[in-house]
Every structure is written in structure tokens, then in C-alpha cells.
Amino acid sequence: MMEYINEFLSHPDLYKYLAIPFIAAIVGWSTNWVAIKLTFYPIEFFGIPPYIGWQGIIPRKGEKMARITVENTLTKISTMSEIFEEFEPEAIAHHIIKVADSRIEEFTDDIMTDRNAILWENLPNVMKNRVYSRARKQLPSIMDSMLEDMQANIEDLIDPEELIVKQLCTDKNLLNRVFQECGDAELRFVINSGLWFGFLFGVVQMFVWFFYPAGWVLPFFGFLVGIATNWLALNLIFRPLNPIKIRIWPLPTITLHGLFLKRQNAVSEVFCRLITTDILTIGVVMGEIFKGPRSDRTKAMIKKHLRPLIDGGVVKTVAQLTVGPEGFVDLKRTIEAKTIEMSLSSFDDPVFTKERGVVVEKMFRDRMQAMTSEEFQDLLRPAFQEDEWILILVGGVLGLAAGFGQLLVMFAGVTG
């Protein structure tokens, strides 16, 4: 054994052999870095479609990735009824009333001027004031009853899964952010672990090459380093699924657990913050209710609740004076549209949006932190599982190229 060691240490090209583990470490790090980048970028397809080029795995399969994430997390921790209840319909109604109360005159003037500016402008102020007064007086009861009705029928007015999927598919950068911010520590581990795993494989490669300098050894080990470092890193993120305690005497007991799974509480906080501040905000939810695919049901609800205001007393009398019986139907539609506009404009308030989001975030966070490891891994696992073989193979190809580079540049003429 000492003979082999002395032969190795006295070799005139020793520095070249000692460089092999360091080169393998760089290959391991760089192939993992490339693999992670290819997971997220480029956002749009780069190259000659459909086959020559590349698009990040997550952006390319955005809808599938978004749907898997939503199905594996949000649908397991809440329903739309629970979300809307946490938003507190009473608080929403009060906020809309507060914003609208100061703009009653503005909205009324806009509606009536749009239908018949001359007659409205020439209407006596006493009549206008009675319209303003009646609208201001009835608005609280209308909003209260309308939001109560929405809460009772919320499952028919909005599909939260479709809403979130639509948001994430529309903004692919946001979809990337969900995976990148939730898995920040794990992504860094994948990249950095390539350095250490690559170095360890490189030590083996060094001795194999020294004693058996066949032309295929360096390229083969380069390929092996590229594949193995990616595969090992990806598996250590999610395996073992549940904590396993190991004791090797005389060392202390150690606990093995997937890196991502160990950070369940921290990841839950990041994920729930992203969802409630960038995706499932009160403004987005109400916008979907008023203008989404099921908005015809919402408009029918608005029409029903506005009927006592429009069809009764001085409002109807003044309306018929200014637009006539024929224009009264069109006026109703304009009032409904203005009601939606007025309601949605009230959600531009960042303070109110944040207040409602914090409540929902807490509910999401508490329930997500209580998930089992089997359930929780499905938050980030799809990002790596989808076309994982491509990422591992890319690492192998890059490692193979590095192996040939070593062979040609550093050890030309050495092969036996």
C-alpha cells in the first residue's frame, strides 16, 4: 500500500491529479446551478419553436404547476366560504359605505349626466339633494344585505382554485417567486452541495484515473458527477419523509429529515404571506366576484338589492323626469355598473387590504403548519419532480463535456 502511495506522491504530474477533485467540485457546483436556472428560466421560450430551444420548466408548464400547487395546499386547508368569512363581510360593507358616502354626489352626478346632462343640470337643487339623501340613507342597508347574500352564496360566485391558477398563469414571474421564495434554502443547498459531492466523487476519480488511465475514465466520471450531484441533492431535500434518529457510537444521536420538510413552519409563513399579499387579496377576490366568469350571478344579486332604491320614491320620479320611461331601463344598468365600480374602487386602500389579508394569512399558516409531511412536501416537490430527469441529464452532459476537457487539456497523451 505504501508503495502505491509513494508512487502517487512522487509522480511528476501530481498537481494535475490533485486538481481533479477541485475540478469535479466546480463541475458539480456549476451543473447544479445550471439545473436550477433551467427550472425557472427563461420565462418565455428562447430558441426556434417548438423543439430547438428552452423555456423554464415551471413557466413552460405554468398552469399544470399552479394547479398542482393549489390542489395540494390551499384546497386542503380552506374553502372559499371560510376565506370570505375571515375577510368579514360586515367589515367589507362598512368599508364600501365609508368610501362611497363621501362620493354619493359624484357618482350620482356621473350617472345622471351620462344619461341626460341638460335635464339633470337644470333640475332644482332641492330635487337633487333629495336623491342624494335617499341614496346615502339606503346605502348601508343595501350593502349589508348584499354582502350577507354574497357570503351565503359565495361558492356559486367564485372558484378560488381557478382564480389562483389564473393569477399565477398570467404572471409567470409570480409563479416562479412562489417556488423560489418558499424553497430558497433548498435551492441554495442544491447548488452548494454540488461543490462538496463533486469534490468527494473527484477524489475517487483521481485515484481511479491514476491507476487506470483509460480514455473513457475522465469523461465517464464527469458524467457521473453531473448526474449524481443533482440526484443526491434533490433527494436530500425531500428524503427521508419523516424524521429518522440514528445513533452511531460514540457519536451523539442525529436526526435525518428532508431539508424542506424540516422547515415546514418557516416555509408556511412565506407561502401564506405570498398568497395573501400578491394573489388572494380582498381586491382580487371582489374583482373576481364582480367581473369574473360568474359575474352574471353577482349582477343579478346587485340588481335585486338595488331595486328598492331605484324603483321607489323620489329616485324613480327624478329618473323618469330626466331620462323618460324608455331610458329608465338603461339607467338601471348604468347604476348597477357604477355600483360595481364604486365597490371595487374602495379596495384600492392598501391599509384595508393588508388588514383583511393578515387575518386570512394567519388561518392559512396555522393549518399549513399542521399538515403532515406527506401533504406538505407536495408544495415544492412538483417543481423538481416535473421533468426532473431532464435536469439530471443536463448535469450529466455538462459533466461529460468537462471530463473530455480535462482529458484533452491536462492529460493529453496519458491514456493507456
Summarize pLDDT for 150-197 with one digit per residue, the tens: 888 888 888 888 888 888 888 889 889 988 888 888 888 888 888 888
> How large is the average pLDDT for residues 382-404?
75
Q: What percentage of the chain carries pLDDT values higher than 70?
A: 86
> pLDDT band at 305, cuts 50/70/90?
confident
Residue 413 has pLDDT above 60, yes or no: no
Question: d(Cα 162, Cα 30) in Å, to the nearest integer?
Answer: 38
> How large is the average pLDDT for residues 65-93?
84
Sequential DSSP letters for 286-338: HHHHHHSTTHHHHHHHHHHHHHHHHSSHHHHHHHHHHHHHHHHHHHHHHHHHH
At 415 the pLDDT is 54
CA nearest 185: which of 72, 65, 267, 68? 267
- Tracing cell 329616485 back to the chain, one arrives at 315
Which of 88 and 4 is assigned the larger pLDDT?
Answer: 88
Q: What percentage of the chain carries pLDDT values higher than 90?
A: 2
Residue 46 has pLDDT above 80, yes or no: yes
- 244-284: pLDDT as tens digits: 887 766 667 777 777 888 888 898 899 889 888 888 888 88
65-79: b (≥16 Cβ within 10 Å) or e: bbbbbbebbbeebbe
Residue 322 has pLDDT above 70, yes or no: no
- Tracing cell 502511495 back to the chain, one arrives at 5
> How large is the average pLDDT for residues 288-317?
78
At 247 the pLDDT is 72
Residue 69 has pLDDT above 60, yes or no: yes
98-124: b (≥16 Cβ within 10 Å) or e: ebbeeebeebbbebbeebbeeebeebe
At 398 the pLDDT is 79
Residue 318 has pLDDT above 70, yes or no: no
Q: What is the mean pLDDT of the chain?
A: 80
At 355 the pLDDT is 87
At 325 the pLDDT is 62
At 36 the pLDDT is 83
At 317 the pLDDT is 65
Which of 324 and 352 is assigned the larger pLDDT?
Answer: 352
At 42 the pLDDT is 92
Domain segments of the chain as ranges: 18-409
Residue 121 has pLDDT above 80, yes or no: no
Residues with Cβ within 8 Å of residue 280, at least 6 apart in sequence: 83, 160, 163, 164, 360
CA nearest 220: which of 231, 232, 208, 230? 208
pTM for the model: 0.78
> pLDDT band at 8, cuts 50/70/90?
low
At 384 the pLDDT is 65
